[in-house]
Structure 1
Amino acid sequence: MNINTLKNLKDFKLTLKLARAVSTARALYKFSMLWKWQRFIVSMVLLGLVQLSMGQKKPVDYVNPFIGTTNYGTTNPGAQVPQGLMNVSPFNVMGSSLNKSDKDEGWWSTPYEYNNKFFTGFSHVNLSGVGCPDMGSLLLMPTTGELQVDYKKYGSTYSNENASAGYYTNQLDKYHVKTEATATQRTGISRFTFPKGKSHILLNLGEGLTNETGATMRFVNDREIEGSKLLGSFCYVNNQAVYPLYFVMRLSKKPIQKGYWKFQRQGAPWENEWNKDAGKYKLFTAYQNEMSGDDIGAYLSFETAENEQIEVQVGVSFVSIENARQNLEHEQPQGGFDQIRVAAHKRWNEDLSKIEVEGGSEDQKTVFYTALYHALIHPNILQDVNGQYPAMESRETRHTDGNRYTVFSLWDTYRNVQPLMSLLFPDRQTEMIRSMIDIYKESGWMPKWELYGRESYTMDGDPAIPVIVDAWMKGIRDYDHEAAYEAFYKSATRVDSANKIRPDNADYVKYGYVPLREPFDNSVSHAIEYYLADWNLAQFAASLDKKEDAKLFTERAKGYKHYYSKEYGTFRPILPDGTFLTPFDPLQGANFEPNHGFHEGNAWNYSFAIPHDIPGLMKLMGGKRKFVEKLQETFDKGYFDVTNEPDMLYPHIFSEIEGEEWRTQKLVTEILNKYFTNAPGGIPGNDDTGTMSTWASMNMIGIYPLCPGRPEYTIVTPVFDKVTIHLDAKYHHGKDKLVIRRERLGQDGYIKSISVDGKKNKGFKVSHHELVNTDEIVVATGSR
């Protein structure tokens, strides 16, 4: 083999190696390109799934805290957690752009009104949806530039406003300061982002919504202030119902200067009258000891860098300053605004996820979850982290191992909020009932409209009875029921002036009705509430085998018949001599004008409010046909008041009458669509501590409790295609969820059939026992 042959052979081998290498390289290249595409496809799929997951809203994401903040809804967009004591709300109803310098001029019973744009600080501990002013104190305000302590001058318009469950923020136009607020159960935290220059944080104890005056404060050190503020006299009914709120405030930065201010009126105390509108604010720049007065505040001044943030923590207690500090140290040991905000958001989502809905529009989901959010604000806890709370009326410090609840607006909430709690949170309902019974043991009477350990005696009736009896009839019984019955029997039978729950019980027991003894004494409204309470008490007595009591209260509950006037076809006040009031206008009382015998309504708003005896009322009014025509007339002539508790059950009464159930379905759908919207005015009046919102939320899922004490629900047209209600297995026989499904057989929303676990349901009701032991309820809807 010559050299050339060898050379050719080497070239061939080299060529072969190169060919193999190229082939391998091509193969690797092709594989790598294929893998690139596979990785790209996989990554895109994963990204899409992540984006889809991120895009799927959680229940908490649907909450719009601005719903109900105008149109007299009196909710606020402040930060809080479910059933929390603390609410941190923007305060814009003093010195506002609407030229309201005094809360009573505009009937302000809320710290915030959507159409106002004049921020004077964050108020701490606020009420939601009420019709009388109280609370709304401890105003915290950031400012810049020259120090100003007059709220009418230091207030600012604002923009970039936003709120979600547990969080609020805006931008102060005057100062270019970003404000933010969030909360824990008993504490609030605000964060202010300042521009460069001289900045201030003001704590105003003079302004607020309460009807009481007086406060005390002192600097503990450069970063801490402690003190108390007097609150109370809610609705002015009981002017003795006052109480102190204790607080501790902490700063994340040491101020370069601090001091107090105090408003001093012109004139002298010994003169006959002060000029209440004239005076001046006096600054105390050197005095650092305790400061007291009706209109006082503290200022803290800083030099801030551009976008520097200062956090302010506020802990509160209704027991003592020491407890307020302990609450703050336990719930905010190191502050940390963002962590607290995330925790509040999480807590809301956990509670709101008790009901999951599918179908419906985005607006409908927003209305629903915001309504549920509003229902979980009151009643709220009262006790501190150490379990201490102020005993009812005496204010003696007591201790509880569980939750002690307060803000029992029972005339409102017995109708639906408390029944909703029995369904979704029976453990909390149990503790609420225990709190009510403890209130009786501490004060001698059940709560009526209790507020932070004092009784306001606002509104009518004996509303604790239907709350507890309704829960009892639904199997929620882990409390001292004998004490509850003792309390109920006492208020129902005591006929002297010491009866604080039924002040006109002597007449009621003697005559079976309450005669009109003063021109505007709400006598008919009182009696109508007593009838429902006595019917509930009869159910309770029968359950406890107290047969004679059951018979007594059953007969009393029929006394509504005394008030029926054939001449007008409505209830009518009765005079002390037993005759009807003459002249009489059944429409008098609309729009809250003074009225004879009726409270916040007229004869039309009360004449069908007898849910415990619809058959008896129907017979009284002339039979089925006349009854249906008369009830329908309330809607056709615009007499129905959607904002009024006594007649909020009217649409559901038609479901008590065979063949007329379609009217309920039609009316409920119309009312929901017209009055409950995703807008600031989306609640048609006072939310009444969640009562109006609960009317909407329960009807939207397809069930509504017509009569407290009767453990059943009226089935109405669900708004959503699927509703999953997560149950507490401990209270609901091991069941952990139920599903309500809507099957659409046409465009219309009339119910054509109802099946419970595959079996056709008779009628348009479902018992509580059946509901919580059911896997699925299917409501088929279509044309009538």
Structure 2
Amino acid sequence: MKRKYLNASFTNLKMMNKTKHLNRHILFLLLTAAFHQVVQAQHMLLLPAKNQHELTKYVDQYIGTGFHGHVFVGANVPFGAVQLGPANLSEGWDWCSGYHISDSTIVGFQHTHLSGTGIGDLGDISLMPTTGPVIVRKGNVKNMQSGYVSLFSHRDETVRPGYYAVKLKRYNIGVKLTATERVGFHEYTFPKSNDAHILIDLQEGIGWDRPVETSIQQVNATTITGYRFSTGWAKDQRIYFAAVFSKPIKNFSVYDSLTAKTGTALTGKKVKGVLSFVTAEGEKVLVKVGISPVSVGNAMMNIRAEIPGWNFNQVVAEADRKWNEQLEKVTIKTASETQKKVFYTALFHTMIAPSIFNDHNGDYWGTDKKVHPKAAFTNLTTFSLWDTYRALNPLYTLIQPEKVSDIINTMLAIYQQQGKLPVWHLMGNETNTMVGYSAVPVVADAYLKGFKGFDANLAFEAVKASAMRNDRGLKFVKKLGFIPADSTAESVAMGLEYSIDDSGIAAMARKMGKTEDEQYFSKRAQNYHNYFDPKTHFMRARLNENQFRTPFSPFESRHEVGDYTEGNAWQYTWLVPQDVKGLIALQGGEKPFTQKLDSLFVAQGDMGKEKSPDISGLIGQYAHGNEPSHHITYLYAYAGQPWKTAEKVRFVMQNFYTDKPDGIIGNEDVGQMSAWYVLSAIGFYQVDPTSGVYVFGSPLFNESTLKLAAGKTLHVIAKNNSAQNIYIQNASFNGKKFTHSFITYQELAQGGDLVFEMGSKPSASWGIAMGDRP
């Protein structure tokens, strides 16, 4: 399904609200509404009575499974190594997570998934229960009977945090899934059959993922072990597994792709194993699958440590408890059940990754392709840093302070193993995806906010070393102060991101008393000037010191080969969050700055045939569906017009985040899209990723309470709040009048009461004075 990009001006909001969904398929809408009602009813019935007031009931994993959300659907615990869920038969961009709401096929239940990425990978260790003749080919859309694929109905699906259930129509098998951090737990309810099977398919993965070497063997009557080495987005992935069954295996056969082999052990490129049983009507067969990046022995150890028994419902309840414990870090008061669902689903999405990438004893597989035993920190993976440095990581510093040191220590270990901080790290691999060295603002932000659980000197060494390399256009940054357009694709985006990153290094150096480094990186942080064209007032690709690339259109976007990353000049001209005052000066002052910014939200033009599909959620040329735009609505506050920030932030929250399957306007991007919503709905957003300054927008809820570090709480109250009363009239913090349109991390971390008085018209004074601006 393809949806037209949503464009709007703020003079026709009512019309937009009536027409923004007309381009969706009517049949899809009707089917979605029907299954949503059924699933919600099932969801409520399956929750124990004592849990009716807990927060997991508001999480709807279907949100983001339509359009281009690419979210994970299945069973996991917060930040767990296991993401156990179904994989559809279909492949393609909208199946990057393995699942899309438009599909009705299942080819297996896999233990690793990505959530919200623009590239497909993982899908390791796929199990599929079947009955009848043994089939080891998954099948295809034109001839599904040729494979083991089964149809399913969303009416027969139940999805909630830590739990997934479905009925496989073809085999009349009921499937229930749950998980701990490193173990997937399956419960299969079979019909009466002399030919009941569980297929372990080590060939199949998601997206780009392809097997390199796979191995399987039967250890005893109830245990299968093996491994899957594969290549894809991450070039050298290694997952070991151990699977323990509640029922003795009657027969175990091995296959090399489609060819049966003798014996009960096999190593090859496309190995598969088939376990066969005789089952009575309604008989349950349970499977515990431990995974490890290190060894089969560690995978078995993970099972013994995390699920020693066979009480499936107990593991489901514990997963639900873990999710509630995390969701309770932010509690909200609102009369809208829809808002609760959207908010807690967004909060849920912020805690799928970064995911654990070590064993219960601390062992992990490093970027240096070595086993690092018993690490003192929790090693992590899946760092979508170009996305997450903007909102997700600043959110963690508030409500996930215990995770921050693990994140930084993982990044510093990666630096020691590969010579630079991670760019986009996945399963012990550097993918080098996206522009910038976006771990730098994450490390700098943690240090500048006072986090102590890592080596600060090593952290500075790492950020500096990452910035002083010669690859990815850096030799030109050091020599020229800009990246020539004919040397590197996406040169403008890359150069602007480097300026943001270098600002964070300069701030670290300043706090550490490293004067020479501070001066050097402060100068590099100003390199954004070199891309600004004073004639057009856009950021443009430069060929040399005297010449910009021509011809030029601020609307044009050329995916992966142009001057901008998933965007155009209209969107990238604002990518200076580290020095908004400097950007205002480049535009000629506050009046031309705000006029240009106003124009962004109404400008219309042809982006060209090569535009990126990531450019979605359009209001004029503002693209909320992609991360470089995420700070832009908050820029008005820097020019003394906080009411315009309020208008636009409210519009985005109300129109681009819904409780429908297409309720995320772009790729979820491992939590970033949702983190923007979480912070904005509470009432603020950190524009500069390393300043610790959170700019106020328009709090969506009457009250929000955040659990902070050291047992402190932050209580955000919006008095007289409504859909019409979106403008902050005045504010107070801990009983004192607060005229600033921003608040610092140090203030927020103290906890207390942040109170807003809301109104239906912009305030004539609040946040406008020069000293009250961020």
Same fold (TM over 0.5): yes
- Secondary structure in 2 matching 1:723: strand
In 2: Cα distance, 1:72 partner to 1:749 partner: 29
Q: Equivalent residue for 1:158?
A: 152
Is contact 1:515–1:578 with CA below 8 Å preserved after alignment?
Answer: no
Q: Equivalent residue for 2:671?
A: 690
- Secondary structure in 2 matching 1:132: coil
In 2: Cα distance, 1:625 partner to 1:296 partner: 66
Is contact 1:203–1:298 with CA below 8 Å preserved after alignment?
Answer: yes
User: Does 1:640 find its partner at 2:640?
Assistant: no
- Secondary structure in 1 matching 2:688: coil
Alignment of 1:175-214 (within 5 A): 175-197=171-193, 198-209=195-206, 210-214=208-212
Q: How much has 1:212 moved relative to structure 2?
A: 2.9
User: Does 1:262 find its partner at 2:263?
Assistant: no
Please list the CA deviations of residues 272-315 of structure 1 after superposition, one character each: whole Å capped at 9, or x if unmatched.
Answer: xxxxxxxxx2233xx22421233321111222111111111110
Which AA in structure 1 matches 2:383? Answer: F
Which AA in structure 2 matches 1:202? Answer: L
Alignment of 1:336-735 (within 5 A): 336-495=311-470, 499=471, 503-518=472-487, 521-576=489-544, 578-589=546-557, 593-637=559-603, 638-658=620-640, 660-729=641-710
TM-score by length of 1: 0.85
Is contact 1:661–1:764 with CA below 8 Å preserved after alignment?
Answer: yes
Is contact 1:568–1:586 with CA below 8 Å preserved after alignment?
Answer: no
- Secondary structure in 1 matching 2:345: helix
Which AA in structure 2 matches 1:684? Answer: I
User: Does 1:217 find its partner at 2:216?
Assistant: yes
User: Does 1:758 find its partner at 2:735?
Assistant: yes
Is contact 2:705–2:714 with CA below 8 Å preserved after alignment?
Answer: yes
- Secondary structure in 1 matching 2:102: coil
Please list the CA deviations of residues 34-87 of structure 1 after superposition, one character each: whole Å capped at 9, or x if unmatched.
Answer: xxxxxxxxxxxxxxxxx9985852122211111111211111211000111011
In 2: Cα distance, 1:393 partner to 1:83 partner: 23
Distance 1:360-1:554 versus aligned 2 partners, 3 A rule: farther
Please list the CA deviations of residues 219-260 of structure 1 after superposition, one character each: whole Å capped at 9, or x if unmatched.
Answer: 11232111111134317xxxxx31211111111112322212
Q: How much has 1:494 moved relative to structure 2?
A: 3.6
* Structure 2 segments unaligned to the other structure (5+ residues): 1-46, 140-146, 604-619, 762-774
Q: Equivalent residue for 1:117?
A: 104
2:135 to 148, 152, 167: 148
Is contact 1:360–1:719 with CA below 8 Å preserved after alignment?
Answer: no
RMSD: 1.8
- Secondary structure in 2 matching 1:540: helix
- Secondary structure in 2 matching 1:137: coil
- Secondary structure in 2 matching 1:636: coil
1:135 to 122, 139, 150: 122
Which AA in structure 1 matches 2:465? Answer: K
Please list the CA deviations of residues 312-340 of structure 1 after superposition, one character each: whole Å capped at 9, or x if unmatched.
Answer: 11100001111111111111112321111
Q: Equivalent residue for 1:60?
A: 56
- Secondary structure in 2 matching 1:754: strand
User: Does 1:328 find its partner at 2:303?
Assistant: yes
Which AA in structure 1 matches 2:476? Answer: D
Is contact 1:395–1:453 with CA below 8 Å preserved after alignment?
Answer: no
In 2: Cα distance, 1:694 partner to 1:386 partner: 31
In 1: Cα distance, 2:254 partner to 2:300 partner: 21
Is contact 1:142–1:177 with CA below 8 Å preserved after alignment?
Answer: yes
In 1: Cα distance, 2:559 partner to 2:505 partner: 33
Q: Equivalent residue for 1:248?
A: 242
TM-score by length of 2: 0.86
Distance 1:223-1:774 versus aligned 2 partners, 3 A rule: closer
* Structure 1 segments unaligned to the other structure (5+ residues): 1-50, 97-102, 236-240, 264-280, 730-734
In 2: Cα distance, 1:459 partner to 1:562 partner: 21
Q: How much has 1:745 moved relative to structure 2?
A: 6.4
Which AA in structure 2 matches 1:57? Answer: H
- Secondary structure in 1 matching 2:660: coil
Which AA in structure 2 matches 1:82? Answer: P
In 1: Cα distance, 2:521 partner to 2:446 partner: 19
Q: Equivalent residue for 1:276?
A: none
Which AA in structure 1 matches 2:203? Answer: G
- Secondary structure in 1 matching 2:578: helix
Q: Equivalent residue for 2:273?
A: 298
Q: How much has 1:595 moved relative to structure 2?
A: 4.5
Identity, % of aligned positions: 34
Please list the CA deviations of residues 696-743 of structure 1 after superposition, one character each: whole Å capped at 9, or x if unmatched.
Answer: 1111111211111111211222111111111121xxxxx521200110
In 2: Cα distance, 1:533 partner to 1:545 partner: 19
Q: Equivalent residue for 2:610?
A: none
In 2: Cα distance, 1:726 partner to 1:744 partner: 24
Which AA in structure 2 matches 1:766? Answer: I
Between structure 1 and structure 2, the one with the greater Rg is 1
In 2: Cα distance, 1:478 partner to 1:258 partner: 49
Is contact 2:118–2:667 with CA below 8 Å preserved after alignment?
Answer: yes
Alignment of 1:24-173 (within 5 A): 54=50, 57-92=53-88, 94=89, 96=90, 103-104=91-92, 106=93, 108-152=95-139, 153-159=147-153, 160-173=156-169
Q: Equivalent residue for 1:21?
A: none
In 1: Cα distance, 2:158 partner to 2:48 partner: 25
- Secondary structure in 2 matching 1:213: strand
In 1: Cα distance, 2:443 partner to 2:372 partner: 26
Distance 1:259-1:598 versus aligned 2 partners, 3 A rule: same
2:292 to 311, 314, 317: 317
Please list the CA deviations of residues 739-763 of structure 1 after superposition, one character each: whole Å capped at 9, or x if unmatched.
Answer: 0011016742111111111222122
Is contact 2:254–2:265 with CA below 8 Å preserved after alignment?
Answer: no
Q: How much has 1:667 moved relative to structure 2?
A: 0.6
Is contact 2:252–2:273 with CA below 8 Å preserved after alignment?
Answer: yes
Which AA in structure 1 matches 2:568? Answer: N
Q: Equivalent residue for 2:259?
A: 282
Which AA in structure 1 matches 2:384? Answer: S
Please list the CA deviations of residues 568-595 of structure 1 after superposition, one character each: whole Å capped at 9, or x if unmatched.
Answer: 3211101146410011122111xx6355
- Secondary structure in 2 matching 1:365: helix
Which AA in structure 2 matches 1:204? Answer: D
Q: How much has 1:200 moved relative to structure 2?
A: 1.3
In 1: Cα distance, 2:725 partner to 2:602 partner: 21
Q: How much has 1:107 moved relative to structure 2?
A: 5.6
Q: How much has 1:171 moved relative to structure 2?
A: 0.9
In 2: Cα distance, 1:333 partner to 1:596 partner: 54
